[in-house]
A and B are shown apart, each in its own frame.
Chain A
Amino acid sequence: MKFYEKEMIILRERLEEALRKSDAEYTEIRIEDVASSWISFRGEELDSIGSSKTVGGIVRALVKGGWGYSTFNDINNLNVRVKEACESAKMIGKEESKFAQVEPVVDCIKAELVKDFREISLSHKKSVIEEYNKIVLGYHEKIKTSIVAYGDSFRKIWFANSDGSYIEDERPNTTLYISATARDGDNVQHGMESTGGMTGFQIVEGFHEKAEASAKRAVELLSAPPVTGGKYTVITNPNLTGVFVHEAFGHLSEADFIYENEGMKEIMVLGKRFGSDILNIIDDGSYPGQIGTHKYDDEGVRTRKNYLIKDGILVGRLHSRETSAKMGEMPTGNARSIGYQFPPIVRMTNTYIDKGNSSFEDMIKDVKLGIYALDMIGGQTAMEMFTFSAAYAYMIRDGKIAELIRDVVLTGNVFETLLNIDMIGDKLEWAPGGPGGCGKSAQSPLPVGFGGPHIRIQNVVVGGRQ
């Protein structure tokens, strides 16, 4: 009999009993049970096939502004863990605690899977991705090797806190990543595609065309020149707009960078202009069907739609219960954790630039020399500066898409780049999911949604040789 079937019936009682042992001002316990499996091909051969099962938990206690955390795999001594967290918190707390009050909730969220990956055999999963691998490897003689990696996980969470909230949540995830590697002498190029989501195994089915597209791109990039470094007008496609807004602005709107730093509070004062009137940036953890969507965050706060920038003006930011109380703003449901090993911290959910009213043709037609940058490899931010990189790109010459180019990494500064967005497309799209995600404070990867339309940005610094 499985662990949770036997023991979880009485888990709520055990959590509530352990919480009663706490003498902290606020205490919460989160227990997680995660069952996952993975299959990956590298080149001709199956590289790895396996499954894992983890059980663990975290206790968080707040005393006089100080936090004590205890994390563990052995969930049999919850009272001891609560005591440990309380003692740590008491040792360091020296001020008045500030922690936003939210209405306690009791809720039980069940996963809704179209095709339940737990009921699909490993051999079937393997045969599905093996087809993709064959497509990649058979595409062209210059395809040297491949990665086709499938993963699924079913995460069940039990959350209880001293406010009286009790939430059971199921968070399934299925991901697929395909990378084709083409080589010509010392020139090695990649084409990548991925998908993922919370609704079941069907997400990774029927990916044959994308598999072929990844191989085709890898081969085409072999003969594409690297971008010449410089300043350009850049149009990003919706997938790349999503990672741009995440790096360019999302991180700086996370209140834990701001709430105790007077200088940052001045820079990020509500009402300040960051973009032109056409710019609207939103983070929405309640957006249906996206990979950063949950009903509650990991502090038991209901997720919601939060405007960060409205008509170019800073109107909101992302909060945990602590940062919202300290800044005198409303909690936003953005305290998230990648797993029981970590406390929740302020994170994005699904972040997007809202659609505008420009067509792609209007954006490109008067660009004499520019770059049309597509899809993402990744991005990173350090406060005001950020970078993000395109999987592939084309030069724009005299208003038209010209040759394919590679190695396009873009950089910007939050105080300038958002103001340089001069056109926003009329169709909002979301980037496909996948095994990656966002990293912050050693917590990586966290599933986050990236969305937006095509946008046009003036004067973007693009790295490269000259």
Chain B
Amino acid sequence: MIAETLIEKAMKKAQGAQALLTQSEHTRVSFESDKLKSVESSQRTDIRLRVVLNGKVGLSNTTDINDLDGVVARAIECAEFGSSAHFQFPNPQEGTDVKIYDDKVIPVSKTEMVKISQEMMDLIKKYNPNIMVYAGVDKNVLKREFANSSGVKFTDEETHFSTGVFGVLVRGNDILEAGYGFGCKKRDIDHISIANRAVELFKMAENTATIKSGNIPVIFTPSGMEVLLLALELGFNGKNVFLGSSPLAGKLGEKIADERFSLIDNPLIDYASASRKYDDEGVPHQVTPLIDKGIVKSFLYDLDTAGRSGTKTTGHGIGCNPTNLVIKEGETSFEEMVKNTKEGLIVESVMGLGQGNPISGEFSVNVQLGYKIENGEIVGRVKDVMLAGNTYDALKNILAIGNKSEWVYGSLLTPYVQIGSLSVVAK
């Protein structure tokens, strides 16, 4: 096992070490502009070593499996000037099993991947032959080998499968782009419903609606929820909390959102994109409630940040980033939300997210794909519209939460969420 060999080599000089070897094989089929355009195969190797020498940390990476002595030497060199280690490498601990490997993924042939793409494309074309279609199918198999100097060692193997389709429709000087995609760790993906979802987005955009500047209720679709979640992903990151740049620092136990709003981080959902038994530091994954009934419950930590903060890792190494995020369902159907809205906006996707000051919760984005609601009905697509607000204000001003959750990109499970009022600026 290469990871163990690396630990042996590193421990000749270092007092602690961890090594992670990742090897993957990936195949992708792509349609561009209505045509089968490319087939890609890729092979990847990645070795990451972290050593502790005299209480200091050094890192080194390589893609060359024959460069083990080199990667050890460079990590040791970095450690001489490295940051202080605020952690001990963990001892072996048993984790919770979660399904991450589907043996139906590898046998999917390139021909079958072409067929899936073609079927998605045909559905869009059947709706409107003028839409220029792009489609793709990916399959991936990834093996990890992990070891540390405290005796943790494991290997795991996971599969990933994803399909997506999007189209471009040009009408005069009007260009409409819409699409939908999904990926997870199992083969069983219904590409027909993905294509139908994309068609639905085009259908709702057949008409263009005008909207006046002002403050109106806004429904975020599951895809559109990224607007609100970006600030939370940054805000719950334990490193930002420790450094004081997160506005949630010091707010453990405080109410920051409507009591119907609950958010958990769950890496133990079978076949979800970010699911695994252990994190990249060999720590067993666990379910971490972040917001429960509007109240801040926990932040996300890796070993070093937990050490600095005087707490325990939550299994979010390395980097304190979320795994799969799950927002609790509410009681209102999407149809009811629309029906109950006199004038409002539906946001499916935006442009410019994260360009402002996202950690503060502030967002100011162009509504790339959004729809106007008038008197309880969706009347058409809006264009050249800016949406602005603050995630933390919005979470206190929730009008309704959907009663049905959907997966977005395989790592976010969320219902539709309607916010009482946000600022819309139109031409």
Which A residues fall within an 8 A CB radius of B? 3, 37, 42-43, 45-56, 65-74, 84-85, 88-89, 91-92, 94-95, 122-123, 126, 144-145, 181, 183, 186-190, 226, 229-231, 259-261, 263-264, 266-267, 341, 343, 377-389, 406-407, 409, 411-413, 415, 461-466
Contact = CB atoms under 8 A, between A and B. Distances in A.
Nearest to B59: A50
10 contacts: A50-B60, A51-B60, A53-B61, A190-B357, A260-B32, A389-B355, A409-B388, A411-B386, A464-B423, A465-B423
B384 A385 contact: yes
Nearest to A40: B83
A144 B83 contact: no
Interface in B33-62: 33-46, 57-62
A400 B215 CA distance: 31
A411 B383 CA distance: 11
B368 A92 contact: no
A43 B243 contact: yes
A50 B175 contact: no
Interface stretch (B166-174, B201-209, B327-335, B400-408): B166-174
A88 B383 CA distance: 40
| Most chain A CB within a 10 A radius of its CB, from B83, B239, B359 | B83
A69 B41 contact: yes
Nearest to B308: A45
A445 B274 CA distance: 23
Task: Identify which of A51, A91, A144, A461 gathers the most chain B CB atoms within 10 Å of its CB.
Answer: A51
B81 A74 contact: no
Contact of A385 (B41, B83, B383): B383
A411 B42 contact: no
A229 B33 contact: no
Interface residues of B, number: 83
Given A382-B368, A385-B351, A463-B388, A49 B81 contact: yes
B245 A407 contact: no
B45 A89 contact: no
Contact of B360 (A54, A95, A187, A386): A187
Nearest to A231: B427
Rank and list the top 9 A-B pairs by shortest CB-CB distance, nearest first. A263-B170, A463-B386, A50-B59, A387-B352, A260-B33, A88-B39, A52-B61, A46-B83, A463-B364
A261 B169 CA distance: 9
A54 B383 CA distance: 44
A144 B388 contact: no
Contacts of B219: none
Interface string B345-387: 0000001101111011010111010000000000000011011
B425 A229 contact: yes
A389 B352 contact: yes
A183 B388 CA distance: 21
Name, among A42, A55, A411, A461, the residue most crowded by chain B CB atoms within 10 Å (CB to CB).
A411
B245 A181 contact: yes
Nearest to B114: A92
Nearest to B66: A3
A377 B356 contact: yes
Given A45-B84, A53-B60, 10 more contacts: A3-B64, A70-B41, A88-B38, A88-B39, A92-B37, A145-B243, A264-B168, A384-B173, A463-B423, A464-B423
A76 to B, nearest CB: 9
Contact of A70 (B40, B62, B111, B387): B40
Contacts of B44: 71-73, 341
Contacts of A343: 38, 40
B364 A409 contact: yes
B84 A71 contact: no
B78 interface: yes
B342 to A, nearest CB: 19
Interface in B238-271: 239, 243-245, 247
A385 B243 contact: no
